[in-house]
């Protein structure tokens, strides 16, 4: 009888221990699943915001280049108009200034739209390196905003200058060209930082290099 009781106690103890182990396993499985879901959520959102930001950033850069194309032509026609003020040269300058202003404004808006995506992406990572690189992208977007706004203003001054040139308002032309030159100096200064950030970002494999350091 005693042996039977002891065996019964052992069996019951075994089943209790087994149930406890199963409960622990199930608890760990739930925790593990929750952790995986959280990591997946963080990763997906980080990637989504980062990619959306880069798409808008690339678009801003491309649009800016088109603006530069029209700006260069506007300056070319203005220089020729100074030597020989004809209606054709004046209109060519005005048309290119107007086009440049439109593209610079579009580029400015794209740069502005891209920046919040990089800022939001930082909320989905705790890695210092990721946060550091996202900071570069944000700074680049801000610099892009700065240079496109300066070039927009420069294009506008040039447009006003050639319009006054066609009317023979030489004093106004001189004043406007002073503003144009001052704006271009600011642009050149800001462009240095923009190009440095661009080269740094273009030469950086965002995911690969960070993973190699882990």
| Distance, CA of 1 to CA of 26 (rounded, Å) | 37
Range of the domain at 156: 2-213
What Rg do the C-alpha atoms of the chain give, in angstroms? 32
| CATH code for the domain of 23 | 1.20.58
Percent with pLDDT over 70 in the chain: 75
Q: Which residues contact 192 (CB under 8 A, 6 or more apart)?
A: none
| Distance, CA of 39 to CA of 50 (rounded, Å) | 16
Q: Which residue, chain included where needed, has tokens 């494999």?
A: 205
pLDDT for res 132: 86
Our count of domains for the chain comes to 1
Do 74 and 93 form a contact (C-beta atoms < 8 A)?
yes
Which tens digits make up the pLDDT trace of 132-159? 889 999 999 999 999 999 999 999 999 9
Which tens digits make up the pLDDT trace of 28-53? 444 545 555 555 667 788 888 999 99
pLDDT(76) > 70: yes
Report the first-to-last Cα separation within the chain, whole angstroms. 64
| Distance, CA of 45 to CA of 49 (rounded, Å) | 6
Q: What is the pTM of this model?
A: 0.79
């Amino acid at each position: 009888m005693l042996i039977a009781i002891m065996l019964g106690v052992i069996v019951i103890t075994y089943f209790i221990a087994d149930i406890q182990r199963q409960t622990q396993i199930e608890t760990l499985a739930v925790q593990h699943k929750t952790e995986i879901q959280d990591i997946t959520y963080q990763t997906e959102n980080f990637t989504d915001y980062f990619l959306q930001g880069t798409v808008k950033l690339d678009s801003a850069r491309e649009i800016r280049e088109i603006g530069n194309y029209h700006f260069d032509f506007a300056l070319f026609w203005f220089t020729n108009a100074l030597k020989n003020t004809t209606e054709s040269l004046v209109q060519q300058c005005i048309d290119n200034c107007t086009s440049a202003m439109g593209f610079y404004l579009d580029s400015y808006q794209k740069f502005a739209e891209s920046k919040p995506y990089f800022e939001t992406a930082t909320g989905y990572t705790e890695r210092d390196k990721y946060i550091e690189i996202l900071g570069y992208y944000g700074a680049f977007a801000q610099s892009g905003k700065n240079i496109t706004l300066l070039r927009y203003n420069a294009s506008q001054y040039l447009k006003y200058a050639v319009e006054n040139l066609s009317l023979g308002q030489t004093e106004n032309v001189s004043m406007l060209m002073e503003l144009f030159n001052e704006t271009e100096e600011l642009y050149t200064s800001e462009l240095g930082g923009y190009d440095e950030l661009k080269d740094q970002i273009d030469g950086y494999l965002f995911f690969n290099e960070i993973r190699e350091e882990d």
